[in-house]
Structure 1
Amino acid sequence: MLKLNPIGTKWVFKNKQGEDGMVVRNKARLVAQGFCQKEGIDYEETFAPVARLEAIRILLAFATSKGFKLQQMDVKSAFLNGFIKEEVYLRQSPSFESARFPDRVYKLRKALYGLKQAPRAWYARLKSFLLKFGFVMGSVDKTLFLLSRGGDTLIVQIYVDDMIFGGSSHALVSSFVEQMSREFEMSLMGELQFFLGLQIKQSLEGTFVHQAKYTRDILKKFNMGDSKPMTTPMSTNTALDADEDGEAVDQKEFRGMNGSLLYLTATRPDIQFAASPRTSHRQAVKRFFRYLKFTPELGLWYSSGSSLSLRGFSDADHAGCRIDRKSTSGACQLLGTSLVSWSSRKQASIALSTTKRVHCCSLAARSRLLWMKATLSDFGLKYGKIPLLVDFTSLST
């Protein structure tokens, strides 16, 4: 007798909100309880490429420089379009059981939300369609697809079931939208305005990217909406250490505050670095929130017609961490005048000299520049030597 591993299902209800926080759609979805799946039986591979935020910012800067506006659309019930090769069985859905055959199960022909292989199955279906349409997949970024016809270019960036796209020809863009609508049930959102929590305003002068709504949301969430604003994110006299004698704080709240700040760094390089939990640490994090209260509308500006030259900057302190004496590296990369990538992180090893800490920092910055160079080559941009400016002041003493 054939032994099956039927998977349960569950109804999920959700309100989808727009940029202003208003409910734009009520959604009900039947999802599979994928945690019951067994690897090697119910699924093999599960991954699906997801665009990096740096890739999104590069596309925004490139499109702004070239003078075309990006648009957005998503595929309705995207995962239901993917085909699966494994045999997967589902129990009857709650409230829809058959009175006559209560013990029967469903055999899936297509993917369902909740299945571990569903994202990969959807990506494979979409990738197949785009390549058939004539697109070329990015050599480095597998979520980037480019189409060239008669001197015109169309660029598509994928983030699961959301797509942002734009091109130099209105006819080419319209043809793409028409073909996508024939193949899938699409939701056309028009000009790109709200994507992955980023608020985007495109104009003739340039593109402004910010997270004002998210900033106000987290201020409200952590009861900091009425706090006194601060003009700087951190005091110059603050030197955080383990503070083992300090009073312990609510770790759940502290981690939540730090996690909220980490997502905000998608458009705020000015708050990239923060730290661990005692009262002194919590006060430092709360100062970040008071700084956000002072600068909620701060974001990134990409100028129209800006050059697309690539350059980078890097620097590091020396043994700046008072706990383990590791150095902290900082770097940023610009596409013309547009800041598209940045980082601030502790080095993995202790630098025994200023020379070593500078080289560790510049190595990480070079790696990011090489990735950007390879990505931009798919856009048709070719670079020779890329300038990386490093602070060697300490080496001359």
Structure 2
Amino acid sequence: MFRTKLNPDGTLNRHKARLVAQGFKQEFDIDYKETFSPVAKMPTIRIMLTIALNRHWPVLQLDVSNAFLHGHLQEEVYMHQPQGFIDENHPDYVCKLHKTIYGLKQAPRQWFTTFTAFLQTNGFIFSKLDPSLLIYDHGNIQLYILLYVDDILITGSHQNSISTLIRKLQTAFSLKELGPISFFLGIQVLHTKSGYFLSQAQYAQDVLQAANLLNCKPSQTPIAMKPPTTVTSFLDADPIQYRRLAGCLQYLTITRPDIAFATNMICQKMHQPSGQDFNALKRLLRYIQGTQQFGLPITRGPLHLRSFSDSDWASNPLDRKSISGFCSFLGNSLVSWCVKKQLTVAKSSTEAEYRSLASATSDIIWLQRLLADFHITLTAPTSLSCDSSSALALANNPVFHARTKHIEIDYHFIRERILSKEIDVQHINSVDQPADILTKPLSLARFRLLRDKLTIQPPES
């Protein structure tokens, strides 16, 4: 396999050639058994950057060359001799693999097992909240390693211990230290006066180029209040290209929650996109064209966790299911958000808001426990704001009636978290609700207001 590797600005970095096995010919339970390999969750990355920034810790990036070649095979696997390297004396011989190679289905899992086993022998333990986060906590020394396949982030309180650990890793693996974090998983990390700025400008440009919309007229909002009735011939109505672009846009939402709702709507129509769906995709791409440089800042501030929850009741005209949306801030930095269609039809707007509260509560509990791994002690209950008075009344008061009997489990779940003082549900005016941008189309003025509340902005000059 031949690949061209690019720099963050799109210029050529180097050419790569790699031997890849034809893993699609492997048979389950003969050539492989387990294939799952954990990867870092995006909220974990944002939380690590926020905490390291506030504690003035360095965040270093490591890269492993040919990572999968370090994994040890547990199964007996044979491979044909590679083309161009066939032994003339024994052309029918095959290669027996002792270690994993790119293309094998179990290669990512075996690499993860090999690397984490080495860290465990050096005193690291797994985080129970994110298995790709490994923690070293002895005395006054705290080190954190975050693993995403062969891309590694390391931070901690003791610079000498970090340097010692990197030297050990370089001895055991073909590892390069890339210095302070600058380009991670396609995300450009700019160092600004106030902190970090996460941007996917080059990735957004690549998506627009794939859609032939690099020089199109920008749109002011990502989704129209009312869908247009005219149908365009965008992409010549190619559903395969539609699905490809929809998948690319999902990855773009890592730093762009302002397009999360529009992307969610587009991805719901991937099985059979209509003319209106193509129009919606084109409008979203036109919005991205005008906001390519926008991104998510990570700034210093008090490490208080606060969340906002909202829903749009029965918004889908086809199945009448509601949309849930919530977002969480750690200090001034947005670290987690979600847009999701509810699984069942809500009988009332109260129920829809209540389901959204339950989803936000689950996320808050996970964030609280993850922060505990970073030794962040929350002295007060996490504020969870909602603009539905009836949903808040249902959460605070043990009152059941005919229309809430079927949501009893959610009631007990939220109620217990309120009584244990893990969360504190509060009312917020609908005008000030930032999660509103995650649940419905908005007018230009309101969209820009809420986008600013989510801190999505162009980079500092």
Question: What TM-score results when the alignment is normalised by the length of structure 1?
Answer: 0.91
Query: Does the residue aligned with 1:15 lie in a helix, a strand or coil?
Result: strand
Equivalent position to 1:37, from 14, 26, 29? 26
Counterparts of 2:211 and 2:104, CA distance in 1: 34
- In structure 2, the partner of 1:230 is 219
In 2 relative to 1, CA 320–107 (structure 1 residues): closer, same or farther, beyond 3 Å?
Answer: same
Q: How far did residue 393 of structure 1 move?
A: 4.2
Aligned-partner SS, 1:30:
coil
Task: Tell me: CA distance 1:105–1:257, structure 2 relative to 1, closer, same or farther (3 Å).
Answer: closer
1:125-164 matches, within 5 Å, as 125-164=114-153
Describe the SS at the equivalent of 2:249: helix
Match of 2:431 in 1: none
Alignment length, in residue pairs? 382
Partner residue of 1:387 out of 379, 383, 386: 383
Is residue 201–residue 208 contact of structure 1 (8 Å, CA) maintained in 2?
yes
2:271 is the counterpart of 1:282: no
| Separation in 2, partners of 1:282, 1:390 | 34
Counterpart of 2:444 in structure 1 is: none
- 2 CA distance for matches of 1:315 and 1:68? 35
Map of 1:328 onto structure 2: 323
Alignment correspondent of 2:332 = 337
Equivalent pair of 2:351/2:391 in contact (CA under 8 Å): no
SS where residue 31 of structure 1 aligns? coil
Cα offsets for 1:304-344 (capped at 9, x unmatched):
2x222212110011111122211111110111111011112
Instruction: Tell me whether 1:100 sits opposite 2:92 in the alignment.
Output: no
Name the aligned partner's letter for residue 148 of structure 1. Answer: D
Tell me, yes or no, if structure 1 residue 296 matches structure 2 residue 292: yes
Q: Is the 8 A contact 1:354 1:394 kept in 2?
A: no
Between the aligned partners of 2:170 and 2:371, the Cα distance in structure 1 is 29
Aligned to 1:19: 8
- Counting only pairs closer than 5 Å after superposition, residues 195-274 of structure 1 correspond to structure 2 as 195-236=184-225, 238-239=226-227, 249-274=237-262
Structure 2, unaligned runs of 5 or more? 394-461
In structure 2, what is the equivalent of residue 4 of structure 1? none
Amino acid in structure 2 at the alignment position of 1:215 = A
Q: CA deviation at 1:179?
A: 1.0
> Amino acid of the residue matched to residue 341 of structure 1?
S
What is the rounded CA distance, in whole Å, between the counterparts of 2:330 and 2:191 in structure 1? 18
Distance 1:396 1:107, change over 3 A: closer
Return 382-391 or 103-112, whichever deviates more.
Answer: 382-391
CA separation in 1, counterparts of 2:108 and 2:392?
53
Q: Distance in 2 between matches of 1:369 and 1:187?
A: 36
How much does 1:123 deviate? 0.9
Deviation at 1:53, TM superposition (A): 1.5
1:238-271 deviation line (CA, Å, top 9, x unaligned): 158xx89999932123223322221111101111
Deviation string 1:187-206 (CA, Å, 9 cap, x unpaired) is 22111111111110124521
Greater fraction helix: 2
- Confirm whether residue 49 of structure 1 aligns to residue 38 of structure 2: yes
Provide the C-alpha distance between the structure 2 equivalents of 1:170 and 1:92, rounded to a whole number of angstroms: 46
Q: 1-side partners of 2:216 and 2:93: how far apart?
A: 59
Q: CA deviation at 1:91?
A: 1.6
Question: Which residue pairs with 1:187 in the alignment?
Answer: 176
SS in 2 for 1:189: strand
Q: Using the TM superposition, give the Cα deviation of residue 16 of structure 1 relative to its aligned residue in structure 2, in angstroms.
A: 1.3
Q: Match of 1:169? A: 158
2:381 and 2:260 mapped to 1: Cα distance?
28
Q: Which moved more, 1:384-393 or 1:29-38?
A: 384-393
- Identity in percent: 39
In structure 2, the CA distance between the partners of 1:200 and 1:396, relative to structure 1 (3 Å rule), is closer
Partner in structure 1 of residue 452 of structure 2: none
Give unmatched runs, 5+ long, in structure 1.
1-11
Q: Quote the Cα distance in structure 1 between the aligned partners of 2:224 and 2:278.
A: 14
Q: Deviations over 1:324-370 (max 9, x none)?
A: 21111111011111101111221111111122101111111111111
Across the aligned residues of Structure 1 and Structure 2, the Cα RMSD in angstroms comes to 2.2
SS of the residue 1:361 aligns to: helix
Distance apart, 1:184 and its partner CA? 0.9
Write the distance in 1 (CA, Å) between the matches of 2:135 and 2:334.
23
1:358 pairs with one of 353, 359, 363: 353
Q: After TM superposition, give the deviation of residue 396 of structure 1 in Å.
A: 9.3
Q: Aligned partners of 1:396 and 1:301: how far apart in 2?
A: 31
Aligned residues of 2:39 and 2:132 also touching (Cα < 8 A): yes
